[in-house]
Amino acid sequence: MTTGLAAAALATALAVPAQAHTGGRPPHWELQETTTDVRFRGLSAVSGNTAWLAGSAGTVLRTTDGGKDWRNVSPPGAQDLQFRDIEAFDARRAVALAIGEGEASRVYRTEDGGATWTESFRNTDPRAFYDCLTFFDLRHGLAMSDPVDGKFRILSTKDGGRSWTVLPNDGMPPALDGEAGFAASGQCLVGSGPRDVWLATGGAARARVLHSADRGLTWTATDTPVPAGDPARGVFALAFRDRAHGIAVGGDYRADQPSPQAAATTGDAGRTWTSAAQPPPAYRSGVSWLPHSRTTAIAVGPTGTDLTTDGGRTWRTVDTGSYDTVDCAPDRSCWAAGEKGRVARLES
């Protein structure tokens, strides 16, 4: 079975008891060799053949043969940076975000598969700390920073990441005391369609999701049922299959702390959120819808992978390996990545 067909069959194959499977192993994560032990929190799945990874120690890897070979295409001189998000358009073009205070937050762009990189943005405000980025299309994209002057800061590009501009904050609601984003999986800022974008928060008394329908100019904020009230708790990742239907996952990233109500869903573009009736059993840092599915999504975290086949209302653990982020490509191929150089592709 090809990788794409394996992903398409995931909902059916894993929704039935294990003893019902005959004639082979059900769809599962197949670990791949990356020859590195860095932690990958940035992942962009282009197809079953092509994927990009971004991680610690300024590391960027790329495969174009389904993971048989991972080529180190890290930007020169970036070894002290922490890459936490990467958005790839194809096998040659990608934009990577390094996170951190002040000048540690940077954006790099490549047009030749990582052979050369251009630093297109370097943060010069010591108060800013960029967490995530997303693209609506080949030209328009946004990046978000933790609050500056009491509001989340939004960075915008109109030329595919070649240049960036800080948007005015007039349309951004005030941040709560202690509120911030989590640079855990590259999914604290996600878009759907040509103009809609959502921002996930935590660390404050309430975990919120902010929504913009005009590419980041104006925003509305909504409370979620995901527990907060501590700098380690909140919504860590979002996924939208269209402009109305979304999933939020998170919890408490500390291994010794429980994470009840670690997932929630919306059917109205984030105006309201409902707790999962049966959430993942622990903190989850990444989530992705299976393309072309209205009901199936995958969530990952340090203690395992969970599957929903009913749009996020109930979740079932299907793997206990450690992953930080997950992404599925339009051809239905799915990838996951995490600590100690762990990378996997969905196989059957």
CA distance 150 to 9: 46
Rounded Cα distance, 67 and 84, in Å? 20
Q: What percent of the chain has pLDDT over 70?
A: 92
CA dihedral in degrees (116, 157, 300, 309; nearest 10)?
A: -130
- The pLDDT value given to residue 20: 38
Per-residue pLDDT band at 24 (split at 50, 70, 90)? low
> How far, in Å, are 104, 113, 170, 222 from residue 176 at the CA level?
25, 40, 16, 12
Q: Is the pLDDT of residue 347 over 90?
A: no
pLDDT band at 26 (very low <50, low <70, confident <90, very high): low
Per-residue pLDDT band for 9 (boundaries 50, 70, 90) equals low
Cβ-contact 144, 131 below 8 angstroms: yes
* CA-CA-CA-CA dihedral for 136, 176, 302, 304, to nearest 10: -70
Question: At residue 348, does pLDDT exceed 80?
Answer: no
pTM across the whole model: 0.93
pLDDT at 327: 98
Are 275 and 266 contacting, i.e. CB atoms less than 8 angstroms apart? Answer: no
Residues 31-83: tens digit of each pLDDT: 999 999 999 999 999 999 999 999 999 999 999 999 999 999 999 999 999 99
Tokens (6 digits) for 30: 């197949």
Q: Which of 61, 302, 101, 45 is nearest to 184 (CA)?
A: 302
The 10s digit of each residue's pLDDT in 111-153 is 999 999 999 999 999 999 999 999 999 999 999 999 999 999 9
Tokens for 13, please give them: 């194959």
Q: How far apart are the C-alpha atoms of 246 and 268, rounded to whole Å?
A: 9
pLDDT per position as a tens digit, 228-287 = 999 999 999 999 999 999 999 999 999 999 999 999 999 999 999 999 999 999 999 999
What does pLDDT average to over the chain?
93
CB 212 within 8 A of CB 194: no
Q: Is the pLDDT of residue 22 over 70?
A: no
* 15 has pLDDT over 70: no
- Residues 213-239: tens digit of each pLDDT: 999 999 999 999 999 999 999 999 999
Quick one: how far is CA 150 from the chain centroid? 25
Distance in angstroms (rounded) separating the CA atoms of residues 191 and 155: 14
> Which of 120, 118, 112, 106 has the alpha carbon at shortest distance from 93?
112
CATH topology classification for 3-14+24-347: Methylamine Dehydrogenase; Chain H (2.130.10)
